[in-house]
């Protein structure tokens, strides 16, 4: 199993550009999450999904959009990139909530907006 | 409102010293889950432990131990006989509706 994969690993965007961060998991997990980690800070939840077709906002959703058309994929869309979105983005998945809610994380995407 | 507080921003110890990382959380729910994750310099996130709110039993795993006290809303993490490889940022996290991470404690273990 590859676990959680993210592409790209690195990206530089100009202000106002758009892009999609890809996330795929092969563990058949229902729950998927997107976090951002600013330098020297903890992770903040952007969006999450409890299953295909169902998404919900986290702590910091502004400036982002998500979709979940399949169990495996959970892409994160930035429409109008801003310097404040410079961060490392982590995707994660888990099989359920509660006692089995260990989240498996992808390796991260380092995004710089100039 | 801060849901998870890790007051220690950075700790430095010498190898073989014991070190405790503090975590204080805030929730009104009676059912919740607490986690610790490790983020080594390479950047990935490594799961260490999960604890539910009904299980206050302390846990020991090798050199790692966790002390969960509901009365003080704390879930502290102790590394015994620290090693250089323990150098990392450690995050405490809370799951009661959504997932909340603390800001992390950077541990430097010097040889």
What are φ and ψ of residue B18, in 5° steps? -85, 150
Position B104 scores a pLDDT of 94
Answer with the residue of higher pLDDT: A20 or A59. A20
Task: Cite the DSSP H helix spans in chain B.
Answer: none
What is the C-alpha to C-alpha distance for residues B53 and A99, in angstroms, rounded to an integer? Answer: 10
| B8 touches A: beta carbon within 8 Å | no
Give A33's contacts in chain B (Cβ within 8 Å): 99
Is there a contact between B52 and A102 if contact means CB atoms under 8 Å apart? no
pLDDT at B108 over 80: yes
Residues 94-113 of A with CB under 8 A from B: 97-99, 101-105, 107-108
Q: By the 8 A CB rule, do B6 and B105 touch? A: yes
Position B26 scores a pLDDT of 93
What DSSP assignment string belongs to B23-59?
-EE--S-SS-EEEEEEE-TT---EEEEEEETT----E
Low-confidence winner among A43-47, B51-55, B70-74 (lowest mean pLDDT): B51-55
Q: By the 8 A CB rule, do A21 and A109 touch? A: yes
Q: CB pairs below 8 Å between A and B: how many?
A: 50
């Amino acid at each position: 199993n590859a676990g959680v994969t993210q592409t790209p690993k690195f990206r530089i965007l100009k202000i106002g550009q758009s892009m999609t961060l890809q996330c795929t998991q092969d563990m058949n997990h229902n729950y998927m999450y997107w976090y951002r980690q600013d330098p020297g800070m903890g992770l903040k939840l952007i969006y999450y999904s409890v299953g295909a077709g169902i998404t919900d906002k986290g702590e910091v959703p502004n400036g982002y959009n998500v979709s979940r058309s399949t169990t495996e994929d959970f892409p994160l869309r930035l429409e109008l990139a801003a310097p404040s979105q410079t961060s490392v983005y982590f995707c994660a998945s888990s099989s359920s909530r509660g006692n089995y809610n260990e989240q498996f994380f992808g390796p991260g995407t380092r995004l710089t907006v100039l | 409102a801060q849901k998870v507080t890790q007051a220690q921003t950075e700790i430095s110890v010498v190898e073989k010293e014991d070190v405790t990382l503090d975590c204080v959380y805030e929730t009104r729910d009676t059912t919740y889950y607490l986690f610790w994750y490790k983020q080594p310099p390479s950047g990935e996130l490594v799961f260490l432990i999960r604890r539910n709110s009904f299980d206050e039993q302390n846990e020991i795993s090798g050199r790692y131990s966790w002390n969960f006290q509901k009365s003080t809303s704390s879930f502290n993490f102790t590394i015994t006989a620290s090693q250089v490889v323990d150098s990392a940022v450690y995050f405490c996290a809370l799951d009661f509706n959504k997932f909340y991470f603390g800001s992390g404690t950077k541990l430097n273990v010097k040889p």
